[in-house]
Amino acid sequence: MQMINVNKLDRELRLAGIPIDGVSDGEPTRIDFRPEATEVQRRRAQEILGAHVPEDDEDKRQRAYLEQGITPEAMIAALWERVVEGQVGATDALQAKRESVKQRIPKQGK
């Protein structure tokens, strides 16, 4: 059974211009095509499915940020403390964690 990331696969298919209603992660993976999808588009969708990688570096980086406690809430609180209260400890700590993740999982093409 091929593991898929339903949201990512859906996005990949739509970006390729393939008219779909959605994707299901059942066994086998089901792509629900819109009626106007051509046979060429359907074959291309199968190629995209075959090459699908469920988790890319961006996904890994986002998961690593959350595992390090770098959440939107933590960032807002840290910014508040820095801007309003003049305390830099929380922003400096979050930035050090971010840099660590960025070094372990660099952005593609950088």
pLDDT in tens, 63-76: 999 999 999 999 99
Instruction: Tell me if residue 1 falls in helix, strand or coil.
Output: coil
Residue 2 confidence (pLDDT):
64
Question: pTM for this one?
Answer: 0.56
Q: How far is it, in rounded angstroms, from Cα 15 to Cα 9?
A: 10
- What is the DSSP-derived secondary structure letter of residue 34? -
Residue 100 confidence (pLDDT):
95
Residue 55 confidence (pLDDT):
82
Q: How far is it, in rounded angstroms, from Cα 103 to Cα 9?
A: 27
CB contact at 8 A, 9 and 19: no
Please list the ranges in the chain whose pLDDT falls under 70: 1-2, 109-110
CB contact at 8 A, 74 and 94: yes
Residue 74 confidence (pLDDT):
96
Q: How far is it, in rounded angstroms, from Cα 110 to Cα 104?
A: 13
- Integer Rg of the chain from CA: 20
Q: How far is it, in rounded angstroms, from Cα 95 to Cα 101?
A: 10
Residue 95 confidence (pLDDT):
96
